[in-house]
A and B are shown apart, each in its own frame.
Chain A
């Protein structure tokens, strides 16, 4: 069984640009969450989606948005990139929000 897959694995963007990160959950999982991990810190919660609806949002600006598709895959969008958005972006899926979450390998975003 494939685990959580994220694409791309690495990305370099310029300040002010927009980026879209993608996540495919484990087959059968309906809940997807997004986290930002800055170097040297623990992951910070950004969004959770379940059954295509947003169930939770962390303390991130409106430049961050996400959606979940009918096949339960998800996209994280970040507009007007700042240098401080450079981080590892992690996606996690679970069968439902009350079950253990499994993480993908992440997308490393560098903003220059």
Chain B
């Protein structure tokens, strides 16, 4: 079936690294995404990785993809209080006609 799972909460101290994990079920997915949502706002695309890649780095963000275990992670280096938000993992099915989202991980950054 279609399912994307994430842990619900993560708390880190300012300046530490945050690692948010996600597992997905569709081995034929083409793109895997990380979106950020702040209170009352829409979704901001943070980064995405094509399914034939293992890693992608973009400034403070590092995405790791383990296709064998269907595991995706997002590492935020030097986490700041402004990074406090809900982070959604999502996968797009082959053919691109729909994207499945996880329930989101709420990141708390303590000063």
Contact = CB atoms under 8 A, between A and B. Distances in A.
A43 B101 contact: yes
Interface stretch (B10-18, B42-50, B55-63, B77-85): B42-50
Interface residues of A, number: 28
Contacts of A94: 96
A105 B99 contact: no
28 contacts: A40-B103, A41-B103, A42-B90, A42-B102, A42-B104, A43-B88, A43-B101, A44-B101, A45-B98, A45-B99, A56-B97, A58-B98, A88-B42, A97-B96, A97-B97, A98-B30, A98-B92, A98-B95, A98-B96, A99-B96, A100-B45, A101-B99, A102-B45, A103-B35, A103-B42, A103-B45, A104-B42, A106-B41
Name, among B30, B99, B101, the residue most crowded by chain A CB atoms within 10 Å (CB to CB). B99
Interface in A2-33: 31, 33
